[in-house]
Amino acid sequence: MKKTVKISVLVLCIIIIGGVCAYFGYASTLVNPESEKSLNKHLGINSNSVITVLAQEKYKNYLVIYYKDSSSSENKTSFIYLRENKICKNRYDKCGGGSSNQNVNSRQIIRDDDFTVQNPFYFIYGQNVEDNTCSVFEYDIYGNFTKKIDEISVPDDPFVVVKNYNLSNSESDIFVFEGKVTEKDILEFAETENG
């Protein structure tokens, strides 16, 4: 009887220790936005990368990080959006992102596995924007600008802004221009391009 109890306790201890090791092993594969080491490891181009966070914003269970990587070119900035992990507290799964040398960009967040299917939203991010203003236009599936939908005031510092837009249809998207741009400016630009 005592032998059976000892074996049961030993098996239970092994299961608990194995579970704890698996949990911490899995957590190490996720991004911890509060840890410089984790950011360098998960967001860096290579093992020597040092990540400088320019701005970040949390929206519901998403976190966006707008950053610069020491291993990339001088003018290039990067953006990544993360989703909070359901198992590990304060840890995030990488969902998507990209790099650019433009002053302002946007990214639509729509995923089949959460609330964003019914209610997509946008992260608008950048720095050094002319007149501290961004003009947001809707465009259709063919790339034609349909209308101006917003004008956003942004700070001098790097920024991330979260916006929800009710677009004409699910095929439409947005384009963000730096500065104050009117629908007339867009028409004049299109005429000179098609010329």
Contacts of 188 (CB under 8 A, 6+ apart): none
Distance CA 165, CA 106 (A): 13
Contacts of 135 (CB under 8 A, 6+ apart): 148, 150, 151, 176, 177, 179, 180, 181, 182
CB 133 within 8 A of CB 151: yes
pLDDT for the residue 7: 80
Helical spans, DSSP H, in 28-86:
36-43
Where does residue 97 fall: left (phi above 0), alpha (psi -120 to 50 degrees), or beta otherwise?
left
pLDDT for the residue 1: 63
Q: Which residue has the tokens 């953006």?
A: 79
pLDDT for the residue 118: 74
Q: Which residue has the tokens 């950011």?
A: 39
pLDDT for the residue 50: 93
Distance CA 164, CA 166 (A): 7
Distance CA 134, CA 153 (A): 7
Give the number of other Cβ atoms within 10 Å of residue 3's Cβ: 7
- Each of the 195 residues of the chain gets a pLDDT tens digit; together they read 677 877 887 888 888 888 877 777 777 789 999 999 999 999 998 888 899 999 999 999 999 999 999 988 777 899 999 999 999 989 999 998 888 888 888 888 887 777 777 778 999 999 988 889 999 999 998 888 889 999 999 998 999 999 999 888 888 899 999 999 998 888 887 777 665
Q: How far is CA 40 from the centre of its chain?
A: 16
pTM of the model: 0.82
